[in-house]
Chains A and B, each alone.
Chain A
Amino acid sequence: GAGVSQTPSNKVTEKGKYVELRCDPISGHTALYWYRQSLGQGPEFLIYFQGTGAADDSGLPNDRFFAVRPEGSVSTLKIQRTERGDSAVYLCASSSNAGSTGELFFGEGSRLTVL
């Protein structure tokens, strides 16, 4: 596709369950970012990939959160033992810039609701 694609667009789950959120970046973009956004706030950085490797995972809040990008394209954000405080919109973005920061192209986001 032409843009960043995220699935699912909406996910409702129960506290304690495991969740996977998928991001398909723009073809050829080497950099991929995960952010999460709560209502009325700015996007909060989680993790940044350059190719297959996590270049910066300092934003992951705790060890329940993990992300992979095994082939340098699609990425999956995995959340174990979900808590109500994990409820937010999870945004993925990709960028063609390697080695210098540039424009991020965001997906529409995955809205996670933990009951």
Chain B
Amino acid sequence: GENVEQHPSTLSVQEGDSAVIKCTYSDSASNYFPWYKQELGKRPQLIIDIRSNVGEKKDQRIAVTLNKTAKHFSLHITETQPEDSAVYFCAPAGNMLTFGGGTRLMVKP
């Protein structure tokens, strides 16, 4: 099965700074690379995704970069805001999503 690791497990930044979370995976057949955000007590929600034929995708303050050769992809959040505080999960996928252990992001005002 797929082995997924996220780093760091917790990340604390000052409001306005950037945050980067990295995800490594093992299955070379994975072809879909999403990031989910889960606020406390809420359901996970997709924030950005990328497919294997693309190296980078950006949506306003968030971006995802993919290095398929090295089997890792990263989430980049710029100009962080307190409402970005949440747990973020990567979930590389072939037929189904395998979630990482999560990264708790804390944005201090």
Interface, chain A (partner B; CB < 8 A): 33, 35, 40-45, 48, 55-56, 58, 91, 100-104, 106-109
Contact A102 B1, CB 8 Å, known A33-B96, A45-B96? no
| Main DSSP-derived SS at the A contact region | loop
Inter-chain CA distance A42–B88, complex, in Å, is 9
Interface, chain B (partner A; CB < 8 A): 1, 31-32, 34, 42-46, 49, 89, 91, 93-102
Tally of contacts, chain A with chain B, CB under 8 A: 51
Nearest CB in chain A to that of B6: its residue: A42
Contact A91 B98, CB 8 Å, known A43-B89, A101-B93, A102-B32? no
A28 to chain B, nearest CB (A): 18
Q: Which residues of A contact B98 (CB under 8 A)?
A: 45
Q: Are A106 and B43 in contact (CB under 8 A)?
A: yes
Q: Are B43 and A107 in contact (CB under 8 A)?
A: yes
11 contacts between A and B (CB under 8 A): A35-B99, A42-B89, A42-B101, A43-B44, A43-B99, A45-B98, A48-B96, A103-B34, A103-B49, A104-B46, A108-B43
